[in-house]
Amino acid sequence: MQAEKKVTWDYVACPYSQGHLSDDTNDLFNRSHIKNVMYKGLETVYYRQIKFSSLLLLSSILCFIILYISFQMVVL
């Protein structure tokens, strides 16, 4: 049984259309096992806007950090 092995997995899948039947019927796998994604499911416009905003904020923070480090190197 997988629960007894003390392994952390990235994903769990269950049989379609039955759903979760028991721990023995679930498939456990990591991100590295995924070769391609055939269907992502529903993505709303709101989700895409939040995703884009998050990436924009992250890139702004990274630019600030790089500028700050560069400035510190010049000052020293």
Instruction: Spell out the domain ranges in the chain.
Output: 1-38, 39-76
Angle CA 44–50–53, to nearest 5: 140
Mean pLDDT within 32-54: 86
For the cut 90, the answer to whether the pLDDT of residue 32 exceeds it is: yes
What SS3 string covers the chain? CHHHHCCCCCEEECCCCCCCCCHHHCEEECHHHCCCCCCCCCCCHHHHHHHHHHHHHHHHHHHHHHHHHHHHHHHC
For the cut 70, the answer to whether the pLDDT of residue 3 exceeds it is: no
Mean pLDDT within 29-45: 87
Q: What percent of the chain has pLDDT over 90?
A: 18
User: What average pLDDT does the structure give for the chain?
Assistant: 84
Q: What is the pTM of this model?
A: 0.44
Residue 29 main-chain phi, psi, to 5 deg: -155, 165
For the cut 80, the answer to whether the pLDDT of residue 66 exceeds it is: yes
